[in-house]
Amino acid sequence: MPINAIVVGKSGQLARALAKRPQLPDWTLRFCDRSEIDLENPHAVQAAIESQRPDIVINAAAYTAVDAAETDEAQATRINGDSPGAMARACANIGAAFVHVSTDYVFDGQSSGRYAVDAPRNPQSAYGRSKALGETQILESGADAAILRTSWVYGAEGANFLRTMLKLAETRDEVSVVHDQTGAPTWSADLADAVMAAARRLAQREAEARGIFHFAGGGETTWAVFAEAIFDEARARGWPAATVKRITTAEFPRPAKRPANSLLDLEPFERAFGLRPRDWRAALRLCMDEIAENRG
């Protein structure tokens, strides 16, 4: 049975990764940019999806300017909260399934272990509050929906930590990176595979695919160690690399509070979808290989 899927978003990391992955047999993915689905207008979002009547909607777009959201929470709320809710309600109305990506920022980051999918949410930033609102509206919509929380997403394209580190190394011998925030880097290509795993199961109307799941890179690290690994991979390829100065969060204040612990419990996702998260170092190496290919 042919599956008609709409991907909301076209230029972000996840949308680009979805566009690159091999197409599933009998699936058609149509990528919609802001000119077609404007996330700043939730009512128009719902109308656009209901008029197109897809079998499944994948939301690969979000307001991700974490610090800017502190002074622009209204826009972040529309894009990350109200519009995903509108997408979910549209899906419920037309009988479509819905896959949405959320974040570790819905938690307060104070846990001593990995966050379970049903752990209490307690966002500490405007960005986190906007994403938590999106989750709530989706769950209340009645749609067949899967919410995938993730963390520390990076890729060969787009604005992300990896590309920032490589850029800084072109002009600096040393960069300061926080060493007291723990999490798991997630390669956008692996996240795309996770999203499609959920989409396939939802398209088959499998009840086990509904609800909230966590997906991120395997293992754990800090931002400073992640940066050191990036520069190790860069040196191995003969690219500019910098030395990392490990600092505390207090030494690098930002407008938005970052979670000290971003680790998520990945086992429920693996059980439900049979996809084991790739170790973050192995994923980083593959991503760097992709960057090398793009550089020619």
State the pLDDT at residue 296.
66
Q: What pLDDT score does 23 carry?
A: 82
How far is Cα 157 from Cα 213, in angstroms, rounded to an integer?
25
In this prediction, residue 215 carries a pLDDT of 98
Distances (CA, A) of 1 to 6, 46, 191, 202: 16, 25, 25, 14
Whether 127 is catalytic? yes
Per-block mean pLDDT, blocks of 10 residues, the chain (296 long): 93 94 90 94 97 97 96 97 98 98 98 96 98 98 98 95 98 98 98 96 92 98 98 97 98 96 97 95 98 86
Model confidence, pTM: 0.97
Map out the domains of the chain with their CATH numbers: 3-160+186-217+263-277 (3.40.50.720)
pLDDT of residue 110: 96
